[in-house]
């Protein structure tokens, strides 16, 4: 059986590119160990206590605008891919 990467066990996630909620972290709401090729990076993202606005049936116009504003404001960083916090925030919270 292969040994588990120390970054995975330290972050407490089940695998690479699998975001996990961190309710007891003072500042950040989620953590992920991002892996792209042979590079790995532990990324903490999302403001603690602030909910995102994932798409759902029957959502309000305000929620739609809020999500669009987030994506417009962080679009450049989201486009950087898996090694950026904005990418993971967009994927899991928005």
Per-residue model confidence (pLDDT) at position 58: 93
Per-residue model confidence (pLDDT) at position 42: 96
Per-residue model confidence (pLDDT) at position 2: 58
In angstroms, rounded to a whole number, what is the distance separating the alpha carbons of residues 75 and 19? 20
Per-residue model confidence (pLDDT) at position 4: 75
Please identify which residue in the block is written with the tokens 């003072």.
Answer: 26
pTM: 0.89
Tell me the C-alpha to C-alpha distance, in Å, between residue 66 and each of 48, 51, 63, 88.
18, 11, 5, 17
In angstroms, rounded to a whole number, what is the distance separating the alpha carbons of residues 65 and 50? 16
Q: What is the mean pLDDT of each run of 10 residues along the chain (94 residues)?
A: 77 93 95 96 95 91 95 97 97 94
Per-residue model confidence (pLDDT) at position 3: 58
């Amino acid at each position: 059986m292969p040994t588990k990467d120390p970054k995975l066990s330290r972050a407490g996630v089940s695998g690479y590119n699998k975001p996990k909620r961190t309710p007891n972290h003072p500042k950040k709401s989620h953590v992920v160990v991002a892996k792209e090729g042979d590079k790995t990076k532990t990324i903490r993202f999302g403001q603690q206590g602030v909910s995102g606005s994932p798409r759902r049936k029957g959502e309000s116009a305000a929620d739609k605008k809020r999500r669009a504003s987030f994506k417009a404001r962080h679009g450049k960083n989201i486009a950087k891919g898996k090694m950026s916090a904005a990418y993971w925030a967009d994927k899991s919270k928005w």
